[in-house]
C-alpha cells in the first residue's frame, strides 16, 4: 500500500507533487494509526471510473439496498485543477462550506470535497480543522 501511495505521489508534476506529499504527511500526523487506503481509480472490470485516491481512516457506508461497505473517512486526490480533499460522513451537506469555506482561502467547497490549486492558496489550519471534524464523526 505504501509503495503504491509513494509511486502515485511521485508521478505528479511539481509543485503538485510536493503539495500532495506535504498533505499526506500532515494527514498522517492528524490521524496517527489510521488505516491507509489506495484506490487506483478503476472498478472491478479495470475500467477507469475516478482519479486515484489516497484514503485515511475507516467508516461504514450504508447503501439504500441495505448493503454496507468499508471506506475511508478522509481522502486526497490529484486532479487537473489541483488537489481535492474528501471528507466523508458529514450528513449536513452545507457544513463544510458554511463552517470552513469563509476562512479556507482560494478553494471550492462542496458537501464533501475541498478543492484547491495549491497549498499556498489555502489556510492550512482551517483545512486541518475540517479534516479533524470529519475524522471525529461516526
Instruction: Write out pLDDT tens, residues 90-116.
Output: 989 999 999 999 999 999 999 999 999
Cell 479495470 maps to which residue? 46
Summary mean pLDDT of the chain: 94
For every residue of 1-39, DSSP letters joined together read -HHHHHHHHHTSPTTHHHHHHHHHHHHHHHSTT--EEEE
Cell (9 digits) for 30: 492528524
pLDDT at 61: 87
Question: Which region among 4-13, 81-90, 129-138 has the lowest average model confidence (pLDDT)?
Answer: 129-138
C-beta neighbour count of 129 within 10 angstroms:
16
Q: Among candidates 23, 51, 31, which has minimal Cα distance to 122?
A: 23
Once rounded to an integer, what is the mean pLDDT over residues 69-93? Answer: 94
Once rounded to an integer, what is the mean pLDDT over residues 111-133? Answer: 96
Amino acid at each position: 500500500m505504501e509503495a503504491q501511495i509513494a509511486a502515485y505521489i511521485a508521478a505528479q508534476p511539481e509543485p503538485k507533487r510536493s503539495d500532495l506529499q506535504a498533505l499526506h504527511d500532515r494527514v498522517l500526523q492528524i490521524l496517527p494509526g489510521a488505516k491507509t487506503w489506495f484506490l487506483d481509480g478503476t472498478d472491478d472490470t479495470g475500467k477507469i471510473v475516478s482519479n486515484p485516491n489516497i484514503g485515511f481512516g475507516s467508516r461504514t457506508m450504508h447503501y439504500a439496498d441495505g448493503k454496507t461497505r468499508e471506506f475511508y473517512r478522509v481522502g486526497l486526490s490529484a486532479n487537473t485543477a489541483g488537489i481535492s480533499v474528501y471528507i466523508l460522513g458529514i450528513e449536513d451537506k452545507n457544513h463544510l462550506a458554511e463552517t470552513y469555506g469563509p476562512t479556507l482561502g482560494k478553494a471550492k467547497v462542496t458537501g464533501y470535497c475541498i478543492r484547491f490549486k495549491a497549498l499556498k492558496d489555502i489556510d492550512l489550519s482551517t483545512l486541518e480543522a475540517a479534516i479533524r471534524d470529519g475524522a471525529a464523526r461516526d
